[in-house]
Amino acid sequence: MGMASRQSVSGRSRERTCGDKNTGDKAMNIVWLGFGKMGEPMAARVAAAGHVLSVFDISEERRTAARSRNLAVVESLEEAIARADVIVSSLPNDTVALHLLAGAGSVLRHAKPGALLIETSTISVSASASIANSADAHEIGYLRAPVSGSVVAAANGTLTTFVSGPDAVVDRAQPVVSAWASTIRVMGDAEQARVMKLAVNLMVTTLVASLGEAYALCTKGGIAPKAALDAISASAIGSPHLKFKADALERLDFTPTFTVAQMRKDLKLISDGARALSVPVLLGATVEQIMAATEASGFGDEDYLACAKVIAGLSGLAV
């Protein structure tokens, strides 16, 4: 596997850029927990890389989706976990993650010692720490591996994944993680990957809210939307993500890549995590209220870019 590593000046952060994603003779038996919007393309790529993969999801609709991709669906979770070399979870929130992976009812109690858990969900530091305790109790390696990117990036295998855990666990997990990630950023040996994902989401949502304000300011100032958005995208603040959202705003396309409701969940994780670390997130608190107003306006199932509609409305504009 091609790999470029970069050690940071301080701490234990380094980048791994993944090349060859085939497993060769290292195929593993993998149980995939959660076949949702992100989990589906990620799991499909892991299976396509040559691993033996079976899917567990409580939704019959999602199980049908797995079968339509010719993926095996778990009939007995206990038996599947007992056979697994690797368990990968892609779950919607703390509640589900804790129910499945922590405490007395954890499915990890069925896993063989030495198995590996790769947890890809966006969950709180505290929930992740509880899962770590459960994994330790059952002698299971635990990699925190939240992902950053869109469903399209997941399907293309170009997600960025922030990982943290012991070096040996990071190395064992790389053949699996590299199936969906073009870049793996190693952040530390404990919960650092969780913090990193929340920090990135804080900046992403703040950027989009400020795009909405800039759009309203330019429109009321007499600048044509396309001219304004093109100029913003080409400015010093320009980035691939900003251009993607600016292009969508120009088309008034609020098809969800990540919904307002989902972003509100993440903003709560950000505020709770920051509070636990005694870090003020003043911009984050403001954006949290903007997203709350956006959901209250009936846009909860639209892309979080829909906050631009609320900001425009408050400015006396129709979008």
Q: What is the pLDDT of residue 92?
A: 95
pLDDT of residue 105: 87
Region 3-190: CATH code = 3.40.50.720
Domain boundaries, the chain: 3-190, 196-314
Per DSSP, helices labelled H in 178-298 are 192-220, 225-233, 240-250, 260-276, 282-294
Q: What pLDDT score does 8 carry?
A: 35
Query: 196-314 adopts what CATH topology?
Result: N-(1-d-carboxylethyl)-l-norvaline Dehydrogenase; domain 2 (1.10.1040)
Listed residue (230, 227, 289, 294) closest to 261, CA to CA: 294
- DSSP labels, 102-154: SSTT-GGGGSPTT-EEEE-S---HHHHHHHHHHHHHTT-EEEE--EES-HHHH
What is the pLDDT, as a whole number, of residue 6?
34
- Name the burial class of residue 97, with classes exposed (0-12), middle (13-18) and buried (19+) by CB atoms within 10 angstroms of its CB: buried
Task: Give the pLDDT of residue 26.
Answer: 80
Residues 6+ apart with CB under 8 A from 303: 248, 254, 255, 256, 257, 258, 259, 260
> Residues with Cβ < 8 Å from 228, sequence gap 6 or more?
214, 215, 218, 219
How confident is the model at residue 103, as a pLDDT? 83
Segment 92-134, tens digit of pLDDT: 999 999 999 998 889 999 999 999 999 999 999 999 999 999 9
Task: Indicate the pTM of the whole model.
Answer: 0.90
Residue-level pLDDT, tens digit, the chain, 319 residues:
333 333 333 345 567 655 445 554 588 999 999 999 999 999 999 999 999 999 999 999 999 999 999 999 999 999 999 999 999 999 999 999 999 999 888 999 999 999 999 999 999 999 999 999 999 999 999 999 999 999 999 999 999 999 999 999 999 999 999 999 999 999 999 999 999 999 999 999 999 999 999 999 999 999 999 999 999 999 999 999 999 999 999 999 999 999 999 999 999 999 999 999 999 999 999 999 999 999 999 999 999 999 999 999 999 998 7
